[in-house]
Amino acid sequence: MRSALRIRHGWAALLLCASALLLMGATGDRTGQRFDRLGHNLMCECGCGQILLECNHVGCTTSEQMRQELKLALDQGESDDAVLAGFVAKYGPAVLAAPTTTGFNRVAWIMPIVIFIVALGAMILVVRSWKKRPPTPPSDTTSSTPGELDEFRRRARKETSL
């Protein structure tokens, strides 16, 4: 009876700890999440071609400066669109990790799909044309006379025997 009671208390304590951990995770740092999300939407401008928060150059002053600007904009309560627009105004549209889905930038999203479909269609047409071609008969230029084959067999036996 006592061991059953201990097991129940153990499970209750485990359930209580799991609930506490879930509740702590539900009230996460919203500013930190926004910083991570926006920092991964921006490119470092030091010339490394990496995402801002993933720039791994030792002593990269550009990424540090850009991170501070991002943190300052978030501390001032600017919206995500305003923060991104501020970075685009200062560094140009190349600062965005992915092109926007407005205006001419839609081409950057649409063209890979169009190119894939056109290439797939061209490949299908080429394969169909290959399948419609009649097979070519084997050429007789490689055939040997029976005497030559006997000579090749004799040489092969001689060279492979120890």
Q: What is the pLDDT of residues 2-22, one digit of tens each?
A: 565 566 666 665 565 555 555
The pLDDT value given to residue 28: 46
Q: What is the pLDDT of residues 92-142, one digit of tens each?
A: 888 888 877 777 778 888 899 999 999 999 999 999 999 998 887 766 655
Q: How confident is the model at residue 54 (pLDDT cuts 50, 70, 90)?
A: confident
Answer with the residue of higher pLDDT: 63 or 18: 63
Burial profile 77-112: b = 16 or more Cβ within 10 angstroms, e = fewer: eeeeeebbeebeeebeeebbeeeeeeeeeeeeeeee
The full DSSP string for 63-98 is HHHHHHHHHHHHHTT--HHHHHHHHHHHH-GGGBSS
Q: Which helix (H) or strand (E) holds 147?
A: helix 146-160
Contact criterion met (CB below 8 Å) for 50 and 44 = yes
Partner residues linked to 121 by β-bridges: none
Answer with the residue of higher pLDDT: 153 or 10: 153
The pLDDT value given to residue 126: 96
Separation of alpha carbons 50 and 40, rounded Å:
10
Separation of alpha carbons 52 and 43, rounded Å:
5
Classify 102 as helix, strand or coil.
coil
The pLDDT value given to residue 29: 54
Q: What is the pLDDT of residues 19-53, one digit of tens each?
A: 555 555 444 456 678 888 888 889 888 878 888 88
Q: What is the pLDDT of residues 78-97, one digit of tens each?
A: 888 899 889 989 988 888 88
Which residue, among 83, 73, 72, 43, has the nearest Cα to 60 in the 3D structure? Answer: 43
